[in-house]
Amino acid sequence: MTEFWLISAPGEKTCQQTWDKLMMATTRTNNLSTNTKFNIPDLKVGTLDVLVGLSDELAKLSSFVESVVKKVAQYMADVLEDSRDKVQENLLANGVDLITYITRFQWDMAKYPIKQSLKNISEIISKQVTQIDNDLKARASAYNNLKGNLQNLERKNAGSLLTRSLADIVKKEDFVLDSEYLITLLVVVPKTNYADWQKTYETLAEMVVPRSTNLLFEDQDSGLFSVTLFRKAIDDFKHKARENKFTVRDFQYNEEEMKADKEEMTRLSTDKKKQFVPVPDFTWTLPCQPA
């Protein structure tokens, strides 16, 4: 990691003489550092009393700006998630990488006119950073809400067959639909009980359609079977199935609802990706621009 120090050197007769002396001491004879000029214009400092009175406010402002910058970096890391190795390349200031931004520092005269007092300039910076902080909180809140909603949907589509959504597993042709008398149920059967299911499902209740079961899906522990029976036998079938360690899932095939769930998943995933906002949108507040 590159480390930067801001050094205020004792002044010689000219700035260039001070620079030459610093270079001689740190670079030309012993190669201790790589030095660049950090150009600060002549600001309206005012009286010593004014400067002393402003010092506490500037210290607080400095801490506040630093905290917001760290929040921006953390937000970037959160949004990039599995691509956190790309955080550094996306942490830009005014469109350039941070090292270039620092080593080619120039005061932004348009945003921070040096004819204004230090107090006015500090108030401009404070106002802009506060706006960034508020914007960032709103973006982070929106991102966390999207992430939470998406995770809830993803959890519904994962896990055990006893609890997960079945919408992405079953198809229309797996069901007897729009029948006044018949209904198709979905039953979760432990893999160790497959043979028992095949032997007994037709006798768990009266009016079960013979040879109507099909294995639709299986995970590590269980399989999802369909079975068709008369509607009047539903309660008896569920009771007997439970006694035999077969679990009937409460599920009604509704193509429109299933389509809506899939569309919601796609929408949330797309909106979550849109929450990635390049850091330059936030770093414009600092009182400088690359030379």
Task: Please give the sequence-ordered ranges of beta strands (E in DSSP) within 74-132, or none if there are none.
Answer: 92-93, 96-97, 105-107
Handedness of CA 6, 101, 34, 45 (dihedral sign): negative
Q: What is the pTM of this model?
A: 0.67
Position 277 scores a pLDDT of 52
Q: Which of 94-103, 236-245, 278-287 has the highest mean pLDDT?
A: 236-245
Q: How confident is the model at residue 276 (pLDDT cuts 50, 70, 90)?
A: low
Domains and their CATH numbers in the chain: 36-156 (1.20.1460.10), 172-271 (3.30.70.100)
Q: Which is more confidently placed, 286 or 240?
A: 240
Position 285 scores a pLDDT of 39
Position 275 scores a pLDDT of 66
User: Half-sphere exposure of residue 266, counting CA atoms within 13 Å on the CB side?
Assistant: 6
What is d(CA 284, CA 74) in angstroms, rounded to the nearest whole number? 18
- Measured from the Cβ of residue 222, the count of other Cβ atoms closer than 10 Å reads 21
Q: How confident is the model at residue 121 (pLDDT cuts 50, 70, 90)?
A: very high
Position 151 scores a pLDDT of 83
**With 60 as the cut, is the pLDDT of residue 283 above it?**
no
Q: pLDDT tens for residues 215-272?
A: 999 999 999 999 999 999 999 999 999 999 999 999 999 888 777 877 887 887 777 7
Per cent of the chain over pLDDT 70 is 92
**With 90 as the cut, is the pLDDT of residue 27 above it?**
no
Which structure tokens are listed for 254?
């509704």
Q: What angle do CA 128, 129, 131 make, to 5 degrees?
A: 65
What is d(CA 149, CA 1) in angstroms, rounded to the nearest whole number? 37
What is the average pLDDT value for the chain, to the nearest integer? 86
**Which candidate, 175, 204, 178, 179, places its Cα nearest to that of 189?**
204
Q: What angle do CA 92, 98, 104 make, to 5 degrees?
A: 120
What percent of the residues of the chain are helix, what percent strand, and what percent coil, each to the nearest 5? Answer: 55, 15, 35
